[in-house]
Amino acid sequence: MIEEPFRFVEAIANRREYIENQIATGSPIVALNYAGGILVFTLGRERQKVFEIYDRIAMGAIGHPGDIERLRMTAIELASTEGFTRSASDVSLRRMANYSISPALKAAFEQIYGAPYLARVLFVELGPDGSQNTFLRVDYDGSIQSNGTPFSKSRQEYAVLGGTRASAEQMEKFLARDYKNGLDLDAALRLALDTWTAGFLVFEGDKNPEELPDEGTLNRTRREQLEAATVEAAVLESKVATPATFRGLTDGELRPLLEGNA
Amino acid sequence: MNFPPAAPGASAGNPDPGDFAALLQARGLYPPPAVATSGPASASAIPTQTQATTILAFKFADGVLVAGDRRATAGNIVVYDRADKVLEIDRHSVMAIAGVPATAWEMARVLEHSFQYFRRTQLQEMSTGGKVRALSKLLRDNFGFVMQGVGVVVPLFATYDTAGPEPGSKLYFYDVMGANFEVAEYAATGSGSPAVRGVLYYENTWGRKPLSEYTLEEALNLTLRALDTASEADTATGGVDRHGRIFPMVKIIAAEGIRTITDDMLRGLFNGGRHPSAQPLSAGVPIG
């Protein structure tokens, strides 16, 4: 089967369709820069989806929990052993994704008799001086999209992870319109929630929307979803005394967001 | 660039997914325990090596204080006068080391990564009991080297337990084989420790009030004087080096985290004391 080019292409296409279907209903994840660092945000129902990887790296993922877990452990092991044998400043998200995570995902995806990873991952990394943060998305087939190379002049200040391409595009459009530099945490949380809602609306209602949702639809959906699910948010803080910068947000910090939508 | 490619079931080589030391051993990144082939290399090797420093810790009103002098020696040679023997392991834990620096710093590094690794992989903080035990295991694994006459480490471990059944400051000392002992009041290790233990025992038992009621300033004063006392007779203890302006490393562990006492504060306290050489030469030596 592998020797025949057409069959291989067909098998890959089938596999792609299967995986896309499997992860389509995943709750979107929104990550954006704010005044204090990076915010990673999602709404969830049953399990944790935003994780600490290393001192300055966090991860959000949608897909099968078993596959997410394998990728998460791999990332933590890579970062921890590198940080131990060399130093914490040698741990780099770009290297980890390019040389380890992506090849592993691609190999699993193309070995059509084996099981692929049913997962899509968003990594974020706090830059050395709190600027030049990296947002990097690795898909189930190993493809990487990031917000810029080390040489690029302007970097995008946010990234999203959606269950479908349309959902992700809608969220990016939303952020392109509403994102501003230097948001405080409360403003960043509100923007993240609105962006999440815009992404959620895509697989809830219109699968290929032309327009961004209007204010009324956004408000109503947001309220419904906050009742049904819980907010999960974590930050990488650029101004902390300890090397580890990851912190899950507390109920107290999320309360203004929830009460504003009660 | 040496990352191994991520493999499905990346933790397959690691017998315990939360154990960083086991991961290092599975990857060949940490030396396997040395096996003692005979008895100690020489009868005097062990006691000599454990004795080249002074570390002390005690509980006072604000939390636990951990302090160490800054001198590192090799035999009768002073090799370094700014050694840091009081090492922060995580937001609430400090390990203070007496013994061979190479081994001790490596242990501290493994320990630091172990706690973080556990929290990241298992999504919960390691318990105080788990942390205390982790250091025990490192000491136990090191015992082969100790039997060969190298790598003796006798640490103190101080932490603030936020989640256990009895939250509060905790202080432990260890022997070379890894046995841990929780102490209620104070502990000291290293060559200068007999003098320090004398000072701490005396103040705690016969002083104006027990150590647990000391304020920060009183605790710091006692610490400086105890280390100075230790260095009076013990050449391996740096004490308070007024000429080099090198002060001991002092850290306070409390519920809100770890605080390092600045040299300026220590200098002010020490010079305000009555130690004869703390006064300017022209002022003469006060009597009585």
User: Which residues on chain A are in Cβ contact (under 8 Å) with B115?
Assistant: none
Mean per-residue pLDDT for B195-221?
A: 95
Q: Given pLDDT bands bounded at 50, 70 and 90, which one contains residue A234? A: very high
Block residue for tokens 């502990």: B187
Beta bridge partners of B72: B80
Q: Does A53 touch chain B (CB under 8 A)?
A: yes
Minimal Cα distance from B26: which residue of A?
A81
Mean per-residue pLDDT for A95-116?
A: 92
Domain segments of chain B: what residues?
47-272
* CB within 8 Å: B29 and A74: no
State the smallest CA–CA distance between residue B6 and chain A in angstroms. Answer: 5
User: Which residues on chain B are in Cβ contact (under 8 Å) with A52?
Assistant: 119-120
The CA distance from B29 to B16, in Å, is 16
User: Which residues on chain B are in Cβ contact (under 8 Å) with A99?
Assistant: 1, 3, 5
Q: What is the ipTM of this complex?
A: 0.90
Q: Which CATH architecture has domain A28-250?
A: 4-Layer Sandwich (3.60)
Q: Which of A48, A51, A104 shows the shortest C-beta gap to B6?
A: A104
Give the model's pLDDT for residue A153. Answer: 62
Residue A48 has pLDDT above 60, yes or no: yes
Q: Given pLDDT bands bounded at 50, 70 and 90, which one contains residue A261? A: confident
Instruction: Work out the percent of chain A whose per-residue pLDDT is above 90.
Output: 70
CB crowding A144-165: b at 16 or more within 10 Å, else e: eebbeeeeeeebbbbbbbbbbe
Binding-face residues of A in 95-154 toward B, CB within 8 A: 95-96, 99-101, 103-104, 108
Give the model's pLDDT for residue B6. Answer: 46
Give the model's pLDDT for residue A216. Answer: 87
State the smallest CA–CA distance between residue A52 and chain B in angstroms. Answer: 6
CA distances B243 to A204, A222, B114, B236, B277, Å, are 74, 67, 39, 17, 10
Backbone angles phi, psi at B237, to 5 degrees: -105, 125
User: Which residues on chain A are in Cβ contact (under 8 Å) with B113?
Assistant: 80, 83-84
The per-residue pLDDT of chain A, averaged, comes to 90
Mean per-residue pLDDT for B130-148?
A: 91
User: Which residues on chain B are in Cβ contact (under 8 Å) with A50?
Assistant: none
Minimal Cα distance from A83: which residue of B?
B113
Query: Could you please report the per-residue DSSP string of A111-170?
Result: -TTSPPP-EEEEEEE--TTS-S-EEEEE-TTS-EEES--TT-SS--SEEEE-SSHHHHHH
Contact of A23 with A221, CB cutoff 8 Å:
no
Contact of B94 with B159, CB cutoff 8 Å:
yes
Give the model's pLDDT for residue B49. Answer: 46
Element spanning B159, H or E? strand B156-161
User: Which range is least confidently modeled, A88-102, A240-254, B23-37?
Assistant: B23-37
Contact of A232 with A44, CB cutoff 8 Å:
yes
- CATH code matching the domain that covers B47-272, chosen among 3.30.70.1400, 3.40.718.10, 3.60.20.10, 1.20.1050.10: 3.60.20.10
Sign of the torsion angle spanned by Cα atoms A146, A150, A151, A154: positive
Q: Given pLDDT bands bounded at 50, 70 and 90, which one contains residue A99? A: very high
Give the model's pLDDT for residue B139. Answer: 94
Q: Does A65 touch chain B (CB under 8 A)?
A: no
The CA distance from A228 to B205, in Å, is 61
The pair of three-digit structure tokens given for residue A34, joined into one six-digit string? 């704010």
Answer yes or no: B53 catalytic.
yes
* CB within 8 Å: A80 and B123: no
The pair of three-digit structure tokens given for residue B193, joined into one six-digit string? 């420790």
* CB within 8 Å: A99 and B110: no
Q: List the catalytic residue out of B53, B128, B159, B189.
A: B53
Minimal Cα distance from B121: which residue of A?
A73
Interface test mutation site (partner A, options B116, B251, B253, B259, max chain A beta carbons within 10 A): B116
Contact of A88 with A129, CB cutoff 8 Å:
no
More confident residue, B234 or A37: A37
Length of chain A: 262
Q: Given pLDDT bands bounded at 50, 70 and 90, which one contains residue B282? A: very low
The CA distance from A17 to B73, in Å, is 67
CB pairs under 8 A between A and B: 68
State the smallest CA–CA distance between residue B68 and chain A in angstroms. Answer: 22
Binding-face residues of A in 202-221 toward B, CB within 8 A: none
